[in-house]
Structures are given as C-alpha cells and as structure tokens.
Structure 1
Amino acid sequence: MKFQVICSIILCLISCAVELHGMNWKIVKMMRDTMTCMKDNGVNIDEFKHYVSGAGVPADHKLKCFENCQLEKVGIMSDGTYNMEYLKENINNNLADEEKKKQAGELISSCGSGLNDIEDVCDKGSQVFTCFRTNKDIMSSIIQ
C-alpha cells in the first residue's frame, strides 16, 4: 500500500512538472505504465532498481511478466502474440531511410524467431524484450 501511495504522489508531481514545463506526455505515460506493470506483477522498488541496473536477463518469472507487460503497453505484444506487422508498419511510417528500414525489419523478424515454441506468455515477452535489449546498439543506429 505504501508503494502505491508513493507512486501516486510521484505521478502527480511529474504530471504537474509536465504541465508547467511542457514536457512530452509520452514520458509520463511510459512512467505510469512502468509503475502499473510493477504493481500488476508484484515487482518491488528494490527488484526494479536491480533490474534497471543492467542485471541482464531476468530469471525471476515476475520480472519476465513485467517485461511482457511493458511490451503489451506499447503494442509490441498482445495476449502472447508478437505484433511483428505492427512494428514493421510503424518503422515504414516513421523511417525515411530505406537501409534503416531494412535493418529494422530484419531485427524485428529475428526477435520473433522461435516464439511459437514458447507457451508461457511471460517467457515469450521476455524473449522479445531480451532480443531488443541485446541488439540495442543496432536499434540506436537505426533510430539516429
């Protein structure tokens, strides 16, 4: 309960700061979604700090569910299904460089390979999350 109150206060303060300074609402939504995924999957603040410190692939199932939740919030996963076409459509709509589109499409496809063999929704989402995390340098070069 204490955690939820602290998160609510933080969100209120962030919302006020955004309103006053004109920050991007996408950041606030991302933070709200992160807190929701933490709460929904029983991830406490210490576990979250350890996770974001770069601890690598989570072994704890609730952290895998947290990752899947994050992907569901942005539309990459939906009820255990990897939304590859959704991602490719977004890339095509938002990238002008054809070579970068090709690289992104290949990465999106490779991150979807082997998912049909995984039954657990959280394991599936975590594998996709791990693939994107592992290829963060490629992703950064595509986005720049």
Structure 2
Amino acid sequence: MKATLFSVALLVLLAHVQCDSKFHQLMKQCMEETKTAESDLKDFMSGGMQSNASENLKCYAKCLMEKQGHMVDGQFKADAMLATLNNVPQMKDKMAEITSGVNACKDMKGSNDCDTAFKVTMCLKEHKGLMGPH
C-alpha cells in the first residue's frame, strides 16, 4: 500500500485542515509581524521546503507556534501540539504516527527561538509528524 505523502509542515498545517478565519488571521498577523511576504511562503513551499529559509520565514514559524500555544519561551510544547491535532477530525486516525513524529522532534534546539521553531518544523516534516495535503 502506497504511503500517504507528508510534505507540508507546521507553517500551513492548520490552514489546510481547519481553514477557519481565526487561523487565517493568525497567519496574516505573523506575516506582518515578521515582514514575511506571502510570495516568500509560496516559494518556500513550492521549493520543497528546503532548510535554507530566511530569518523572516523562521520567525514566521515561531510566531505561528507561539500564537497557537505550541511554543512558549522558546520551548516547543509537544503536548499542546498533540492536543490541537487530536481535535482535528482528519488527524484522529493518524495520531500514533503523528505522536511518534512530534516526540522525535520535541527537544530540537536552534541558535535562537526562530531557528528552534524552524528546526522543529523541519524535523516534523522529516519524521512525518504533520500531514499535509496530497
């Protein structure tokens, strides 16, 4: 059986699975706060989410994580992320795989809080901790 493709990490996860106006507002706020252009996000995603992201994009990941309670004081909150994902109907039957990925990434550290958020995001992508559209 062909495995489900996991290609989109935290940067856009909830936008695709919830598509609610609150999350879109968070995305807009973070783009403004970090001076990240929508075109930069699209380029990053279409480029396969390579790890050579700008500092703005790394801080965008941090901003989203903080606003969702998934990062506090530079520390990734794995339990908070799992609780959020567990409440998304599309994720319920994939929680074992998601939990494994989140646990593999929970202790990632970067050179600063933005880098930590980005490293966690890339780790989740690598470990298939977050499911994206296929």
- Same fold by TM-score greater than 0.5: yes
Output the TM-score relative to the length of structure 2.
0.65
Residues 58 and 74 of structure 1, relative CA distance in 2, 3 Å threshold: farther
Give the deviation of 1:35 after TM superposition: 1.1
Aligned pair count? 113
The answer for the alignment partner of 1:128 in structure 2 is 120
Give the RMSD, CA atoms, in angstroms: 3.0
Which amino acid in 2 is paired with 1:107?
G
Question: 1:60 aligned to 2:40?
Answer: no
Q: What runs of 5+ residues in structure 2 fail to find an aligned partner?
A: 1-17
Shift, 1:125, TM fit: 0.4
Cα separation, 2, equivalents of 1:46 and 1:126: 18
Give me the identity figure in percent. 24
Provide the C-alpha distance between the structure 1 equivalents of 2:36 and 2:116, rounded to a whole number of angstroms. 18
Relative contact order, CA 8 A, sep 6+: which one is greater?
2
Cα deviation 1:19-60 (Å, max 9, x = unaligned) = xxxxxx852111111111111011123323312324422431
Moved more, 49-58 or 80-89: 49-58
- 1:44 & 1:93 partners in 2: Cα distance? 30
| 8 Å contact kept, 1:51–1:58 | no
Counterparts of 1:61-80 in structure 2, within 5 Å, are 61-80=55-74
Asked if 1 retains the 8 angstrom alpha-carbon contact of 2:30 and 2:63, the reply is yes
1:120 Cα shift? Answer: 0.3
Q: State the AA in 2 paired with 1:123.
A: D
Partner of 1:44: 37
Q: What's the CA shift string for 1:74-96, capped at 9, x where partnerless?
A: 22112211112223445667777
- Structure 2 counterpart SS, 1:64: helix
Within 5 A, what are the aligned runs for 1:7-46? 27-46=20-39
Deviation at 1:111, TM superposition (A): 1.1
Q: In proportion to residue count, which structure has more helix?
A: 1
Unaligned ranges ≥5, structure 1: 1-24
The TM-score, its normalising length taken from structure 1, stands at 0.61
